[in-house]
C-alpha cells in the first residue's frame, strides 16, 4: 500500500508548509508506517490563522444563512459520496474494526454538518419591549454573530466524528476554523479539505495544520492572538494547559475532557440488556471512548452473576484485522498508549485487584504482532481509593464492585474528580429518575448507553469539561450575542 502523505490545508491549498519537519504515521493495528505527516510550527499556524481571518471578510461573510447551510449539506453529502475513502482512512489511522467505523465514525461525521446546518436556521432571537417614560418604548432584540476564528483541537479516538462535531456548528454559525487534528490520526481531517474544495466552501473557511501539542502546531495555534475562541476535546491535563493559553486575550474555551464514568446496575434491571450495554460501554472502540464506563457498580444480589456474565462476554470479543468482519475489538491507538494501559493493568494488580479476565497482551498473528493490542480486562476487589478506580485509563478495562443501597450507589458514582456520563440499569422507573437527577454528570443514560440525540446538550461537569456543545447549546459558544436597542 502506498504511503499516505498528510499535508496542511491552508487557504484552500494543500501544502507541506515551510518547517521541513515530517513525522511518521504508524498504523496501530500493524505497528507499521502507513504514511508521513508534515509538522506545522509557527509559520504554518500564522498562515492558517491569517487565511481564516481573511475569510471572515470574504464571500463567506456575505452568504445568507440558507446559502451557508446548503453548502454544509453539500459537505455532508460529499462525505457520504466518498464514504469508502473516509472509512479506509479512519480504519488505517485508528486500526478500529471497519464495522464500527462504518456504523459510527463516518455517518456521524457527515451528520454533524447536516444537523447544525438545519439547527441554526431555527434558533429564535430574543426580543424585549422596554417601557420608557414617554410611553413609546424601546425594542430590544439580539443578533447572533459569528465569534470569528475558532481553533479546533481534536483527539484521536473518534477523529472525524469529534472534529466535525465542532467544525459543523462553528461553520454553520458563520465562523472560520483552523483545525489541529491529533498527530495520531491526520487522515480524515485532511480528506475533509478535499471535500471543502469540491463543494465550493470558500478558501480560508476551513484550514488544517498538522502537528503535535507542546512546542508544535497545537501550542502555537492556541496561543495565537488571531484566534477568537478555542474548542478542545482531549485529556483534562491538556485542557488545563490550553486554558492558560486562552487566558491571554480573554479568549473563550469549550472543553470536552476526560472521564471515569460509572455504570450503576440495580438488581431489578433487565440483566441481558445491562450486560449487552455494559459490554459496549466498557469495551467499544477498545475502551477509547470518553463516555465509556471504567467503573461498574452492581447491586450485591446479582454481583456474582453479573461478573460471570460480563467475563464470558468479554472473552467472546475477537481481536483481529480491521477488515475481518468477525473482528469486534481493535487495538489501542499507539504503542505509547499501550504502555500506559498495561502500566495500569500492573498497578491494579499491585493495588490488590483480582483479575477476572485479561490483564495482559494477547498473542496476535505475525502480521498484527507489532500492533498496539491489549486484552479486554475486568478487575474486581479494589478499594475506591485505588488509582485504577480513580484515574482514567482509556482502555478496554473496567473494575466491578458491589453496592448494597441506592444511596451508596449514588455516593460511589459521584466519588470521582470527573463528571461526564453515567449509565443506570434498572427496571424501576421512579428510581431511574431519582438516581439520574443525583449523579453529577453531563449525561445520564437510563437502560442505554451512547444513545445520542445531537440536539441535546453534551459536555461534562467537574474535571470533565467546561461548557456544553450540541443543539442550541453549542450555538452559545460559537456565536456572540449582540443586543440592538431601538427607541421607538
Provide the annotated active-site residues.
256, 290
CB 177 within 8 A of CB 52: yes
Task: Looking at residues 248 to 267 of the shown chain, list those that interact with ligand NAD (rule: CB under 6 A).
Answer: 256-259
Taking the C-alpha atoms of residue 218 and residue 181, their distance in angstroms, rounded to an integer, is 9
Find the residue with minimal CB distance to ligand NAD. 213
CB 375 within 8 A of CB 358: yes
C-alpha cell at 463: 474535571
Looking at 47, 162, 298, 435, which residue binds ligand NAD (CB under 6 A)?
162
Q: Does 213 bind ligand NAD (CB under 6 A)?
A: yes
Nearer to ligand NAD, 23 or 141 (CB): 23
Q: Which segment (86-94, 176-184, 312-320, 408-416) binds ligand NAD by CB under 6 A?
A: 176-184
Nearer to ligand NAD, 253 or 413 (CB): 253
Q: Where are the beta strands (DSSP E) in 271-322?
A: 293-299
CB of 341 vs ligand NAD, minimal distance in Å: 12
Q: 335, 363, 11: which is closest to 204 by C-alpha?
A: 11
Instruction: For residue 19, give every residue at least 6 positions away whose Cβ sits within 8 Å of its Cβ, in sequence order, or none.
Output: 38, 39, 40, 41, 43, 44
Nearer to ligand NAD, 103 or 318 (CB): 103
CB of 261 vs ligand NAD, minimal distance in Å: 9
Nearer to ligand NAD, 328 or 464 (CB): 464
200, 202, 204, 206 alpha-carbon torsion, rounded to 10°: -50
Taking the C-alpha atoms of residue 182 and residue 180, their distance in angstroms, rounded to an integer, is 7
Residues across the chain: 488
CB of 332 vs ligand NAD, minimal distance in Å: 11
Taking the C-alpha atoms of residue 127 and residue 426, their distance in angstroms, rounded to an integer, is 44
Looking at 269, 310, 392, 422, which residue binds ligand NAD (CB under 6 A)?
392
Q: Does 85 bind ligand NAD (CB under 6 A)?
A: no
103: helix, strand or coil: helix
C-alpha cell at 454: 445531537
Taking the C-alpha atoms of residue 449 and residue 263, their distance in angstroms, rounded to an integer, is 10
Burial zone of 276 (CB within 10 Å; 0-12 exposed, 13-18 middle, 19+ buried): middle
C-alpha cell at 133: 417614560
CB 78 within 8 A of CB 195: yes
CB of 248 vs ligand NAD, minimal distance in Å: 13
Lateral strand order in the sheet of 261-265: 354-357, 377-380, 397-403, 293-299, 261-265, 421-425, 443-446
Q: Which segment (109-117, 122-130, 235-243, 377-385) binds ligand NAD by CB under 6 A?
A: 235-243
Beta bridge partners of 380: 354, 400
Task: Looking at residues 288 to 317 of the shown chain, list those that interact with ligand NAD (rule: CB under 6 A).
Answer: 290
Which residue, chain included where needed, has cell 420608557? Answer: 132
Task: Looking at residues 88 to 147 of the shown chain, list those that interact with ligand NAD (rule: CB under 6 A).
Answer: none
Looking at 199, 241, 243, 347, which residue binds ligand NAD (CB under 6 A)?
241
Task: Looking at residues 14 to 73 of the shown chain, list those that interact with ligand NAD (rule: CB under 6 A).
Answer: none
Using CB under 6 A, count the residues that bind ligand NAD. 32
CB 373 within 8 A of CB 338: yes
Task: Looking at residues 429 to 468 of the shown chain, list those that interact with ligand NAD (rule: CB under 6 A).
Answer: 460, 464-465
C-alpha cell at 418: 470527573
The 3 state secondary structure assigned to 296-310 is: EEEEHHHHHHHHHHH
Q: Does 420 bind ligand NAD (CB under 6 A)?
A: yes
267: helix, strand or coil: coil
C-alpha cell at 125: 432571537
Nearer to ligand NAD, 241 or 267 (CB): 241
Nearer to ligand NAD, 83 or 212 (CB): 212
CB of 274 vs ligand NAD, minimal distance in Å: 23
CB of 224 vs ligand NAD, minimal distance in Å: 11
CB of 76 vs ligand NAD, minimal distance in Å: 21
Q: Does 286 bind ligand NAD (CB under 6 A)?
A: no
Nearer to ligand NAD, 155 or 402 (CB): 155
Q: Which segment (40-48, 53-61, 94-102, 212-220) binds ligand NAD by CB under 6 A?
A: 212-220
Looking at 69, 182, 327, 479, which residue binds ligand NAD (CB under 6 A)?
182
Residue 140: CA count within 13 A, CB half-sphere: 9
Q: Does 163 bind ligand NAD (CB under 6 A)?
A: no
Nearer to ligand NAD, 269 or 441 (CB): 441
Q: Which segment (118-126, 128-136, 152-160, 373-381) binds ligand NAD by CB under 6 A?
A: 152-160
Binding site for ligand NAD (CB under 6 A): 153-157, 162, 180, 182-183, 212-214, 218-219, 222, 233-235, 238, 241-242, 256-259, 290, 392, 394, 420, 460, 464-465
Amino acid at each position: 500500500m502506498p504511503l499516505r502523505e498528510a499535508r496542511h490545508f491552508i487557504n484552500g491549498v494543500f501544502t507541506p508548509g515551510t518547517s521541513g519537519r515530517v513525522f511518521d504515521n504508524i498504523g496501530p493495528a500493524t505497528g507499521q508506517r502507513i504514511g508521513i505527516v508534515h509538522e506545522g510550527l509557527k509559520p504554518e499556524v500564522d498562515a492558517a490563522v491569517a487565511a481564516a481571518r481573511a475569510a471572515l471578510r470574504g464571500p463567506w461573510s456575505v452568504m445568507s444563512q440558507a446559502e451557508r447551510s446548503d453548502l454544509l449539506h453539500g459537505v455532508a453529502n460529499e462525505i457520504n459520496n466518498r464514504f469508502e475513502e473516509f472509512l479506509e482512512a479512519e480504519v488505517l489511522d485508528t486500526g478500529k474494526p471497519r464495522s464500527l467505523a462504518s456504523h459510527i465514525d463516518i455517518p456521524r461525521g457527515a451528520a454533524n454538518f447536516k444537523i447544525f446546518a438545519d439547527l441554526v436556521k431555527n434558533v429564535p432571537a430574543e426580543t424585549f419591549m422596554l417601557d420608557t417614560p414617554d410611553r413609546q418604548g424601546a425594542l430590544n432584540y439580539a443578533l447572533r454573530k459569528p465569534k470569528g476564528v475558532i481553533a479546533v483541537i481534536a483527539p484521536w479516538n473518534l477523529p472525524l466524528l469529534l472534529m466535525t462535531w465542532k467544525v459543523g456548528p462553528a461553520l454553520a454559525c458563520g465562523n472560520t476554523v483552523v483545525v489541529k487534528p491529533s498527530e495520531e490520526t491526520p487522515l480524515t481531517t485532511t480528506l475533509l479539505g478535499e471535500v471543502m474544495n469540491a463543494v465550493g466552501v470558500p478558501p480560508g473557511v476551513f484550514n488544517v495544520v498538522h502537528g503535535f501539542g507542546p512546542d508544535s502546531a497545537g501550542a502555537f495555534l492556541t496561543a495565537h492572538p488571531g484566534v477568537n475562541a478555542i474548542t478542545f476535546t482531549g485529556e483534562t491535563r491538556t485542557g488545563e494547559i490550553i486554558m492558560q493559553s486562552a487566558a491571554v486575550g480573554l479568549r473563550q474555551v469549550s472543553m470536552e475532557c476526560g472521564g471515569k464514568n460509572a455504570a450503576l446496575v440495580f438488581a431489578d434491571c433487565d440483566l441481558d440488556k445491562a450486560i449487552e450495554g455494559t459490554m459496549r460501554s466498557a469495551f467499544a472502540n477498545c475502551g477509547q471512548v470518553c463516555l465509556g464506563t471504567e467503573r461498574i457498580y452492581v447491586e450485591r444480589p446479582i454481583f456474582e452473576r453479573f461478573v460471570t456474565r460480563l467475563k464470558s462476554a468479554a472473552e467472546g470479543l475477537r481481536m483481529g484485522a480491521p477488515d475481518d468482519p468477525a473482528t469486534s475489538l481493535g487495538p489501542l491507538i499507539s504503542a505509547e498508549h499501550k504502555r500506559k494501559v498495561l502500566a495500569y493493568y500492573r498497578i491494579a494488580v499491585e493495588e490488590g485487584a483480582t483479575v477476572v479476565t485479561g490483564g495482559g497482551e494477547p498473542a496476535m498473528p505475525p502480521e498484527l504482532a507489532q500492533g498496539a493490542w491489549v486484552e479486554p480486562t475486568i478487575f474486581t476487589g479494589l478499594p475506591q481509593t485505588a488509582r485504577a478506580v480513580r484515574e482514567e485509563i482509556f482502555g478496554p478495562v473496567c473494575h466491578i464492585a458491589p453496592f448494597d443501597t441506592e444511596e451508596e450507589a449514588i455516593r460511589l458514582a459521584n466519588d470521582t474528580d470527573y463528571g461526564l456520563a453515567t449509565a443506570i440499569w434498572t427496571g424501576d422507573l421512579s428510581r431511574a429518575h431519582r438516581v439520574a437527577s443525583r449523579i453529577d454528570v453531563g449525561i445520564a443514560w437510563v437502560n442505554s448507553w451512547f444513545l445520542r440525540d445531537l440536539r441535546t446538550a453534551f459536555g461534562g461537569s467537574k474535571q470533565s469539561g467546561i461548557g456544553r456543545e450540541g443543539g442550541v447549546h453549542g450555538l452559545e459558544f460559537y456565536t456572540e450575542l449582540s443586543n440592538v436597542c431601538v427607541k421607538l
